[in-house]
Structure 1
Amino acid sequence: MNLSPLRFLHTAPAVVAVLGLLAACGPDQAGTPEAGTSTSSQSRTVAGADKLKACPSTQSRPPVANALPDVSLPCLGSGPDIRLADLRGPMLVNVWAQWCPPCRAEAPYLAALQQKAGDKVQLLGIDYDDPRAELAVSFAVDHQLNYPHLIDSDKQLKLPLKIGGPPLTVFVGKDGAVTYVHRGPFKSQQELDQLVKDKLGVSW
């Protein structure tokens, strides 16, 4: 095809643009995270999940007696799956759901504990048997639960933790052993704070 110099000047930018699009979809780009291919954790995220604290990577550890169940759960926000048996405290693992009124009632106490205790006590939430991940994210954000949250939509923890329904909170010591399981909601900030001191030996 013969193009006049003037016509070529008008056509060249379009050709360059098309070639650029073809290059972006080429095999060198496909299959890499940089090209926008989602990882398994990214594909689970929902609207607003970026506002949640990311789940950290955890070190693989040998099992200890009376530890959390050897179950791996995905993160509600961003970050890797977490194997519960790898966790070490002092820590509170709070099982909740956005559809659970008692969970809403106790949420301010957990948020306040995090503010007061700081790095002395870790908190981890587990969204349990919850079909609406987007509402779970809103729940955590609205109640300022600024710590990592996992998802147990298949109720993997039902049998090992004997969960009749949320809320349920597991107290985990420094060595990874469970020191106490609180079934039902905390009725006051004083109750929660005192249990942390009694069961985990942490004060502030």
Structure 2
Amino acid sequence: MSRKRRVQTYHKRQIQSAPVQKKWLYLNLAIALALIVGGVAALFWLGQQTGSRSASASVANPAGQHQTAPDFTLYSPDGQSVSLNDYAGKVILVNHWATWCPPCKAEMPALNAFYEDYKDRGFVVLAVNSQEDAATVKSFIQANGFTFPVVLDTRGQVGTIYRVRGLPTSFIIDRNGVIQYIHSGAITYEQLEKIVQPLL
């Protein structure tokens, strides 16, 4: 075979094999892309499952009417540890509130007055501030002369466990630790009399 013929034959083979090589290249790229997409999807699914488990764990025993009130431990603006169980045997009003909340501020004088009138009969208000800093809360309480105990739910964990959907929300707990009444919105002195007095 002449040199010219050999060169022509070689080029012909190269031209014929080029589409085959491109086909394998595209196939390999498609497989690699599928593996990458599958891996990302798997990681996303695992992350979703982990997040779901964490969220479920944080509300494993959510509060509801006629259920035992979940215990919690938070800190006062002065840094003292306070637990719901510290008031076991009393009628407790757990009030979720914030200083920026107008209806919260509107109901607080009534809460404080009722607390002062009935604390000697075994009633306590435990005001759970929602996600504000200690200095802000302490300044607000001192400026208004409120005397009931206040704690800081800085991460909103207690609000989540108690399934608080808006502020203010009050939970009235009887002497046996059972939630007897849930009130959303500002509560009045007269309403407190009707709800709390039968439990004392």
Are 1:100 and 2:111 matched, yes or no? no
2:139 aligned partner: 138
What pairs up with 1:17-56 in 2 under 5 angstroms?
none
- What whole-Å deviation, never above 9, does each CA across 1:134-167 have from its counterpart, x for those lacking one? 2211221233220221110100023321111221
Using the TM superposition, give the Cα deviation of residue 71 of structure 1 relative to its aligned residue in structure 2, in angstroms.
2.6
Q: Distance in 1 between matches of 2:127 and 2:162?
A: 15
Amino acid at match of 2:142: V
- What whole-Å deviation, never above 9, does each CA across 1:99-144 have from its counterpart, x for those lacking one? 11111100110111022213221121111122x4222112212332
Amino acid at match of 2:192: L
Match of 2:131 among 121, 129, 132: 129
Using the TM superposition, give the Cα deviation of residue 176 of structure 1 relative to its aligned residue in structure 2, in angstroms.
1.4
Could you tell me the TM-score, scaled by structure 2's length?
0.60
On the 8 A contact 2:130/2:159 being kept in 1, the answer is no
On the 8 A contact 1:98/1:104 being kept in 2, the answer is yes
Could you tell me the TM-score, scaled by structure 1's length?
0.59
On the 8 A contact 2:153/2:159 being kept in 1, the answer is no
SS in structure 2 opposite 1:103? helix
Any gaps of 5 or more consecutive residues in structure 2? 1-65
Amino acid at match of 1:84: L
RMSD: 2.0
What pairs up with 1:1-204 in 2 under 5 angstroms?
66-79=67-80, 81-85=81-85, 87-88=87-88, 89-120=90-121, 121-130=123-132, 132-186=133-187, 188-198=188-198, 200=199, 202=200
Change in Cα spacing, 1:70 to 1:106, as seen in structure 2 (3 Å) is same
Amino acid at match of 1:116: D
Q: Which has the larger radius of gyration?
A: 2
Q: How many residues are aligned here?
A: 133
Using the TM superposition, give the Cα deviation of residue 86 of structure 1 relative to its aligned residue in structure 2, in angstroms.
5.5
On the 8 A contact 1:67/1:176 being kept in 2, the answer is yes
Change in Cα spacing, 1:191 to 1:66, as seen in structure 2 (3 Å) is same
Q: Distance in 2 between matches of 1:146 and 1:158?
A: 22
Using the TM superposition, give the Cα deviation of residue 98 of structure 1 relative to its aligned residue in structure 2, in angstroms.
0.7
Q: Distance in 1 between matches of 2:68 and 2:82?
A: 14
Q: From the two aligned structures, give the one with the greater helix fraction.
A: 2
SS in structure 1 opposite 2:70? coil
